Amino acid sequence: MGRNKANAGEQGDSVDEIIRKAVVFSSETQQQVDGAGIQRTEINREGRRWNNPPPEVLKINIDGAFCGKEKVGAWGFVIRDTDANGVLAGAGRLRAVHDALAAEGEACLAALQAAMEMGISRIIIETDSSVLIKAIRTSDYDCGPGGVIFKEIRELLSLHFIHESIVYVPRSCNRCAHELAHFGLSRDPDQPSIWADPLPSFVRT
């Protein structure tokens, strides 16, 4: 809804409201691992859930935001471990971006670059953009506006990461990354936010 408001030229939610939504979502949907070994998950109203990655693998959820009228965008990501603990998160504004697909690609690129700097190599990537998955897995979009981004993503994955897979999830399972991308719209393009331990409360689990 916040992204739709931005596209329509209306004032979006405040930063405090974005953080409040993320806190509420996290507190309502997290289940603690119990003595029987039940995994902690994020469960939405339709019963779909965020699933924990395997041990020693980190899961990266990414999302991009795009304002068509101004041709600006933003990105957000969160990285969690097998216990659903947040280990790294980020958000930033894009000064100029061609389309929504390019914004999604920038989100993936920002997440991979941040993961590299932290020495993270075993990953699973989740996105609510099936088109982005195709753009990364194939060369079909290499001649388009975001072609350079997709080529760089493939290069980073091949050189610096192992056990990587790119998986589609509905937006309802990607809410934290979505809110972070929305938060990124409020940032200075030259001052992206990258959070490591300790993470802000709205991305802690």
- 10 exposed, middle or buried (CB, 10 Å; 0-12, 13-18, 19+)? exposed
Q: Which residues contact 8 (CB under 8 A, 6 or more apart)?
A: none
**Which amino acid makes up residue 64?**
G
* Residue 50: pLDDT band with limits 50, 70, 90: confident
Report which of 84, 79, 102 is spatially closest to residue 195, judged by C-alpha positions: 79
Peptide bond into 198 cis (omega under 30): yes
Tell me the pLDDT of the chain averaged across its residues. 81
The pLDDT value recorded for residue 122 is 96
Region 8-35: what's the mean pLDDT? 44
Residue 37 has pLDDT above 90, yes or no: no
Q: Specify whether the CB–CB gap between 6 and 70 falls below 8 A.
A: no
The pLDDT value recorded for residue 13 is 54
CA distances in angstroms from 188 to 75, 89, 93, 94, 184, listed in the order given: 12, 17, 6, 9, 8
Start-to-end C-alpha separation, the chain = 24
The pLDDT value recorded for residue 72 is 94
Which residue do the tokens 């914004």 mark? Answer: 103
**Residue 24 corresponds to which tokens in the numbers above?**
């509420």
* Residue 31: pLDDT band with limits 50, 70, 90: very low
Note the pLDDT tens digit of each residue in 152-174: 999 999 999 987 799 999 988 89
Residue 9 has pLDDT above 70, yes or no: no
Note the pLDDT tens digit of each residue in 80-128: 999 999 999 999 999 999 999 999 999 999 999 999 999 999 999 999 9
**CATH number at 54-203:** 3.30.420.10
CA dist 147 and 139 (Å) reads 8
The pLDDT value recorded for residue 147 is 96
